[in-house]
Chain A
Amino acid sequence: MSTSTLPVALVDESEIAPTIRLLRQASRWRVWPGVAMALGFFAIAAIYIPLVWLAVMSFSARPLSGIPYPLTLANFSLLLGDERWVPPLWTSIWMSALVALCCMIVATFVGRAITRMRRPGPVLLLTLLPLFVPGLTMGAALFIFLRILMGLTLGLWSIFIAQLVWALPFALLLVLVVASRFDIRLLEAAEDLGASPWRRFWEIEMPLLRPGVLGAGVFGFLLSFNELLRSLFVRGIETTMPIYNWAMAASQQSQVPIIFALATIILFVTLPVMGAFFWFLFVKLDRD
């Protein structure tokens, strides 16, 4: 917002209509940045208050009531005694690792190619299209295509496709952020000095792209690890962690204490990782 201190000489405010004059004066009030900030922090609170409350309620004896007291560790010991959530967790970890790896490789190749195209628009739009398609619609579309039309047996492979479709556009965006700043003359210089294509890629381009590629991996892993709606429809008989959580949350059974405890543990593992990653990303970007 402009906070120009110059005297307003070009407009004589006494000559304009009173309502417009009022509007002009009101728009100069110092409160507007504060209002803007408050609106944003209200929405951010709507994201984070449930997370804090989730962590609090995981220690509560009655997790769905309004009062956390009496506090207890019973939910966590219940979680340790129950083993049904362990196989979904491992499925999710392996699946996410695979999706992350795939994201890193594909996003690197496609990302560096897109920055070299003369008209990248159509390719970019096609690649980023899944960002716009709601999860439920994509899941239903993949289900009807793979299961009903093609008659295939769904399972881990179709969950992999569904999660890749979701995670890859984000991974590609991260690689693009880094690759679009890459100076192509570095490669030409290396070529003039006699470096082979592979060396040019591995020893010059890759080290410079590394933050983007690593970011693609982290984003890919986390997006895949928490993906629900697409996997839900193409899961066949497999269960991932979010699908397990969903089944427990939707079925109104007594499993709620367990998923609160589990979600809290996962939060406490992922939040520091993400914090560290973003710190690295911003510090790194600033230093370059």
Chain B
Amino acid sequence: MATADLTRKETALDRLAARLSPADLAVPTFLVVWSAVVILPLLILVVFSFFQVRSYQIVYEPTFATWQSVVETGRWTVALRTLRVALTMTVIELLLAFPFALWLAKGLRSKTIKAIIITFLTIPFFLDVSSRILVWRSILGTNGIINTVLTSTGLVDEPISWLLYSEFAVHFGMLGANFPTMVFPIFIILALIDDDYIHASGDLGASPVQTLLHVIIPMALPGILAGIIFTFVPLMAAFVEPQLLGGGFVDLLGNSVDSALQQIRYPMAAALSTVVVVLLGLCLGAFMLLTRNRLDLATIFSALHR
């Protein structure tokens, strides 16, 4: 009996040891640490907007004072302007990216060219942002290359001033940087669509526009939504473009958050950032509701191997 008990105890210990092995512990530990540095700060940001700073001290009493001042000082117009700019750019990027992604996934036959284009779309993630936004000044400015060419060829009499330090310049600066984030999700989902569906639709008499509207777009919807989120949410917090190309005329949420932090108005910075966090939450929630049971990990990654 005693030996039997001993062996049973040992197997229990073995099982415990097996369960505590590094591989099994890795994920829970990682998730706890990850939540502490990603989720927790975002939650605190939201909560912080209900506190106040009085004489450089934070008063931990829930209050709507910060939100009231957001309304009273007219800062909500900044949020509206940011929303307008972000939505405009998202629509522009979508209009540019969807046809291109369709061509990349279904039209382009050469694997080499596809690899080169994907490489070109990935490289911008790894480039320093300030210098390549700053250089637009020497392209769009009144002494810039565009105006120099236009005036020297006599197409215009005097330099076009709205090219730089304007909403136009900010939009233009955002164009390149936010394009890959829109293309990639759409490209991946389009590459997943079986060519047989498209051919079947054509064989049954559908015109290309019908195939596009009734076959391709419905099947590509999760990718389109992901692209919109990937592009729209970062645009809501754009900071470098308005700062370097807006010339102080284009005040967006990002600039307001930055200046609020510098003026030690932390609850205000938190409140303005909360707008972005809430939008992000809404977008992700809507995305998960709409794509429920339509996507799983295996299919997404199988798309990358084609």
A-to-B contact residues, CB < 8 Å = 1-2, 4, 6, 8-11, 23-28, 32-33, 35-37, 39-40, 42-44, 46-51, 53-54, 57, 63-67, 106, 109-110, 112-115, 120-121, 123-127, 129-138, 140-146, 148-149, 161, 164-165, 170, 176-177, 180-181, 197, 219, 222-223, 225-226, 228-229, 233, 241-242, 245-246, 248-250, 256, 259-260, 262-263, 266-267, 270-271, 274-275, 278, 282, 285-286
Contacts and interface: CB of A to CB of B under 8 A. Distances in A.
B230 A9 contact: no
Contact of B103 (A36, A126, A222): A36
Contacts of B55: none
Interface string B208-221: 11111000000000
B111 interface: yes
Contact of A40 (B41, B104, B123): B104
B201 A8 contact: no
A49 B65 CA distance: 47
Contacts of A46: 172, 175-176, 179
Given A39-B99, A109-B26, 20 more contacts: A2-B202, A24-B210, A33-B103, A37-B107, A40-B117, A43-B100, A50-B136, A66-B145, A113-B26, A132-B230, A132-B284, A133-B280, A134-B236, A141-B45, A144-B44, A180-B302, A181-B305, A219-B126, A249-B131, A282-B118
Contact of B203 (A4, A25, A144, A278): A4
A64 B230 contact: no
B58 A249 contact: no
Contacts of B44: 141, 144-145, 149
B128 A113 contact: no
A24 B45 contact: no
B129 interface: yes
A140 B256 CA distance: 12
A226 B126 contact: yes
Per DSSP, chain B at the interface is helix
B37 interface: yes
B223 interface: no
Given A4-B199, A40-B96, A50-B136, A142 B41 contact: yes
Interface residues on B, range: 35 or more
B209 A24 contact: yes
A28 B205 CA distance: 12
Contacts of B27: 109-110, 113-114, 123
B127 A51 contact: yes
A8 B37 CA distance: 59
Interface stretch (B1-9, B71-79, B268-276): B268-276
Contacts of A270: 126-127
Contacts of B179: 43-44, 46-47
14 contacts: A2-B201, A33-B107, A40-B104, A51-B127, A133-B42, A135-B237, A136-B257, A136-B273, A145-B40, A148-B48, A177-B301, A233-B261, A241-B128, A249-B130
Interface in B112-139: 115, 117-139
Contacts of A123: 27, 31
A261 to B, nearest CB: 10
Per DSSP, chain A at the interface is helix
A6 B128 contact: no
A153 to B, nearest CB: 17
A145 to B, nearest CB: 4
A144 B41 contact: yes
B67 interface: no
Nearest to A49: B139
A274 B99 CA distance: 27
Contacts of A170: 125
Contacts of A271: 123
Contact of B207 (A24, A181, A274): A24
Contacts of A6: 202-203
Contacts of A121: 296-297
A148 B58 contact: yes
A66 B141 contact: yes
A28 B122 CA distance: 32
B199 A110 contact: no
B43 to A, nearest CB: 9
A271 B23 CA distance: 36
Given A33-B103, A140-B45, A144-B48, A228 B130 contact: yes
B95 interface: yes
Given A177-B304, A228-B240, A286 B111 contact: yes
Contacts of A4: 199, 202-203
B128 A245 contact: yes
Contacts of A142: 37, 41
A167 B148 CA distance: 41
A19 to B, nearest CB: 12
Contact of B143 (A65, A120, A223): A65
B234 interface: yes
A180 B96 contact: no
Contacts of B296: 121
